[in-house]
Amino acid sequence: MSVSMRDLDPAFQGAGQKAGIEVWRIENFCPAPIPKSSIGKFFTGDSYIVLKTTALKTGALRHDIHYWLGKDTSQDEAGTAAVKTVELDAALGGRAVQYREVQGHETEKFLSYFKPCIIPQEGGVASGFKHVEAEEHITRLFVCRGKHVVHVKEVPFARSSLNHDDIYILDTKSKIFQFNGSNSSIQERAKALEVVQYIKDTYHGGTCEVATVEDGRLMADAESGEFWGFFGGFAPLPRKTANDEDKTYNSDITKLFCVEKGQANPVEGDSLKREMLDTSKCYILDCGLEVFVWMGRTTSLDDRKVASGAAEEMIRSSERPKSQMIRIIEGFETVTFRSKFDTWTQETNNTTVSEDGRGRVAALLQRQGVNVRGLMKAAPPKEEPQAFIDCTGNLQVWRVNGQAKTLLQAAEHSKFYSGDCYVFQYSYPGEEKEEILIGAWFGKQSVEEERASAVSMASKMVESMKFVPAQARIYEGKEPLQFFVIMQSFIVFKGSISSGYKKYIAEKEVDDDTYNENGLALFRIQGSGPDNMQAIQVDPVASSLNSSYCYLLHNGSSVFTWIGNLATSTDQELVERQLDLIKPNLQSRAQKEGSESEQFWELLGGKTEYRSQKLTKEPESDPHLFSCSFTKEILKVTEIYNFTQDDLMTEDIFVVDCHSEIFVWVGQEVAPKNKLQALTIGEKFIEKDSLLEKLSPEAPIYVIMEGGEPSFFTRFFTSWDSSKSAMHGNSFQRKLRIVKNGGTPVAEKPKRRTPASYGGRASVPEKSQQRTRSMSFSPERVRVRGRSPAFSALAATFESQNARNLSTPPPVVRKLYPRSVTPDSSKLAPKSSAIASRSALFEQQLKTPPQEPSVSKPPKASPKTPESPAPESNLKGKEEKKERDKEEEKSMSSRIGSLTIQEDAKEGVEDEEDLPAHPYERLKTTSSDPVSDIDVTRREAYLSSEEFKEKFGMTKEAFYKLPKWKQNKFKMAVQLF
């Protein structure tokens, strides 16, 4: 069904022809286009139609149509919006999904178009309202709800509107306050700050102050007191009362209705099946919170309008304001709709079938001597995929043998056996720093025990590097382009040389087909160039051939190269290159498809039918982002629409699904035990198959840690700012600093160091090697956590060289306190001289207030001594010198003790930065689900900054300045002692 151009409303002419958002407002029962500058502004008395057009990787355009109804809009305007939406869909080809959006209950997909939020304004066209900026600022109170997208609603400016569960924004003339309910999550608080930034930019020109108030802080600081002053002073908040908006509806019960003559009649059946839907009818599927209208492909425009009206009446009569109505066309059903049915068969893509047929016909005709150049050109040219990884890095490869691994020589790095498992480490220059990728590769014939060993080994390597590297799990035959580029000339032999595989085939009594360089072997050659070419050993039979490839066949000293009729000149070049690697110094006999010698066919056991269509890998689809929670082996996911980097919260785990590959992103604030489950989460995600896309269980899985995102991950985001992950704290603390800094990320620590990689390609440029070495000696490495550089330097003076970690040289000591240039200064500088020089510095630090760090030259550590002192005077001098040393060391000890106290007080909070945060309910001594692996004498240290302030009424810094007995008293009061 389609609509002719003359029946199309003039306002919709040219709509949906390019990617973007188009909006129309219903004015006098007709859609009127909204200028781009006003997109995102909604009035409560109006109805709108919103068209979102998305350009897909396939080149096609996808359309989503929403009609938004303000709370004060008239029934006539709402009806017009619903009808015009059906007309717009029909004009676009009848493939769009249509959503009914009600103010205050919008879908997350709709809100994602207008991030960070929409704040509808009073008035509308029907009432003759004309929006004019008010000269006098009006104080307003908003409630914010949502972890991924924010629902913002204006509420009465009164204390009774506040509660402990939600987040509120108080917009005053000179300052914006964010009040965080004690039961709200860190992620919700961070998202609400984006609304604060929006209000600041939109209504204050980006110049007003911003303050946050924690629920339960009382009057502990000036900002809290100022906030409560607007409400007439502090008073306890009431418990949240249930209202109509908080009602929940059972979404597990689904009922199917068939719409006939305007009436919705129930469809009987024990379970839902695709066969129940007739292409000539419209149906309503009532799922409680979601009401679907399914429209058959051959239904008329009037039938669709009637079905939509029946669904509207169903929602209205059952008083379900939160229910969302979604209209879909047969053949373009959403994943959510299809998931409601027990069985659903997806139609085959006709384009793929026709391309496959074209290839087969072309190969067949070419074998018969027909020129197929024109037929082959019929296929549209495909864009060459990019690897997004540098190929000049250092590579190390280990073969897994049982529970052990063997390091391979550089010449064997890219020669794998199909019955083995391998672990590889690849370090390479990234855009801003050295990147590391650690992965496990499973051969098709490998045994399960060695696969588990390979994953365990790779995970331990990542953990030993503090989760800095990215991790990959790769199956033979499903290798991503990044892997091939790393390996460059990749060869896969049949069989294995590991003991696990040998034991397995002995138990199963299977023939050992391990590659023999002097035996019979056939290789399929594939790739795109010298830096991406593979030789895959296949069964030495004619059915293994394919007209789209070149092959290498050898038996002892006899070597043949076979060129398929559909192979390109690049393929022919690659077979010559692989010949030099597999059978060097031997002359091959070229065999052109259709003119092979008898000896060639004899080696393959005779001529038989074989394929002509090029082998296709899983295509990469448009990426989808999911937020994940994984508890008790159950994975729950929530899709985030129109995602950006800001949607990645440091406390959570996310999955980017692009069908051919799965990326698991892990935030820095995720607990270590959950970080170790990241690969399992990726596997569970594939099993769950949330998009019903038939994900391959062998699809590559990457685990990406926050702060170490490689280019092949960040490419899925429209823009990427690496400085955001260089900030300290949780999501809320980071966002708060960004908001207070005018919207700019504040990096608080240097670029992360990555360890050097040893052993690898001989062809690695010297520049790359020097870079790796220089980056492994960061001055920050010897900084003792919780101590200043000055104190660390003093400690280093007395530190035993045998006890020092030799892999972490202490350049910070040389930087702060350079040694004398005297050749023998190391021999002549006694311990007392070091003490004296540092004493002067410490005394100066204790007398002067804290300032910006600065380093001054210390006194010379190598005073001149007489060349040949008399024996008696020398002995006497030594005794006096010992006494002086004792006095100075005694004096120094007291100074160090005093300094230690000041250092701990000054940097006690920083000391807690690296500790994982746990909820109070799991930390208290009476918890039914206590946290393990913590220091039970310091339970309070594991609280987040927000919960700490809530329970103790002060910051961690203030708490640790208190005497120990007073700290314990506070801890006992909150069951943390």
Taking the whole predicted model, whether its pTM rises above 0.85 is answered as no
Percentage of the chain beyond pLDDT 70 is: 75
What does the buried/exposed string (b/e) look like for 890-926 if buried means 16 or more CB atoms within 10 Å of the residue's CB? eebeebbeebeeebeebbbbebbeeeebbebeebbee
Whether residue 561 is predicted with pLDDT greater than 60 in this model: the reply is: yes
List b or e across 138-170, with b for residues whose CB sees 16 or more CB atoms inside 10 angstroms. eebbbbbbbbbbbebebeeeebebbbeebbbbb
Task: State both tokens at 664.
Answer: 């698991």
d(CA 419, CA 496): 5
pLDDT at 889: 52
Selection from 154, 143, 149, 142 nearest residue 71 by Cα: 154
Tell me what pLDDT residue 791 has. 41
Between CA 794 and CA 478 the distance in angstroms is: 55
DSSP letter (8 states) at residue 460: H
Is the pLDDT at 186 greater than 90? The verdict is yes
Residue 603 has pLDDT above 60, yes or no: yes
pLDDT attached to residue 181: 93
How many residues are present in the chain?
977
Per-residue b or e along 934-972, where b marks 16 or more CB atoms closer than 10 Å to that residue's CB: beeeebbbbbbbbbbbbbbbbebeebbeeeeeebeebbe
Average pLDDT over all residues of the chain: 80
Q: Smallest Cα–Cα separation from 49: which of 21, 74, 75, 28?
A: 21
Q: What is the structure's pLDDT at 238?
A: 75
Reference 66, options 35, 110, 3, 121; nearest CA is 110
Compute the distance between CA of residue 628 and CA of residue 664 in angstroms, rounded to an integer: 9
- Token couple for 256: 């199917």
| Alpha carbon 269 to its chain's center | 42
DSSP letter for 11, please. G
Instruction: State residue 251's pLDDT score.
Output: 56
Is the Cβ–Cβ distance between 74 and 106 less than 8 Å?
A: no
pLDDT category of residue 248 using cuts at 50, 70 and 90: low
Instruction: Reply yes or no on whether the pLDDT at 824 is more than 60.
Output: no
In the block, tokens 């998305």 appear at 54
Least-confidence region, from 381-390, 490-499, 576-585: 381-390
Does residue 756 register a pLDDT over 50?
Answer: no
Lowest mean pLDDT of 549-563, 831-845, 916-930, 933-947, name the range.
831-845
DSSP string, 769-832: HHHHHHHT--GGGGPPTTS-HHHHHHHHHH--TTTS-TTS--HHHHHHSPPP--TTHHHH--HH
How many other β-carbons are positioned within 10 Å of the β-carbon of residue 133?
5
Find the helix packing angle between 789-798 and 871-911, rounded to 10°: 140
Tokens 């979601």, located at residue: 290
Please provide residue 212's backbone torsions phi and psi, each rounded to the nearest 5 degrees.
-115, 140
Q: Is pLDDT of 763 > 90?
A: no
Compute the distance between CA of residue 853 and CA of residue 646 in angstroms, rounded to an integer. Answer: 33
pLDDT at 438 over 90: yes
Structure confidence at residue 868 as a pLDDT band (50, 70, 90): very low
pLDDT at residue 790, as a whole number: 42
In the predicted model, what is the mean pLDDT of residues 228-234? 89
What is the reported pLDDT for 883?
57
pLDDT at 34 over 90: yes
What pLDDT is attached to residue 761?
43
Region 131-145: mean pLDDT is: 78
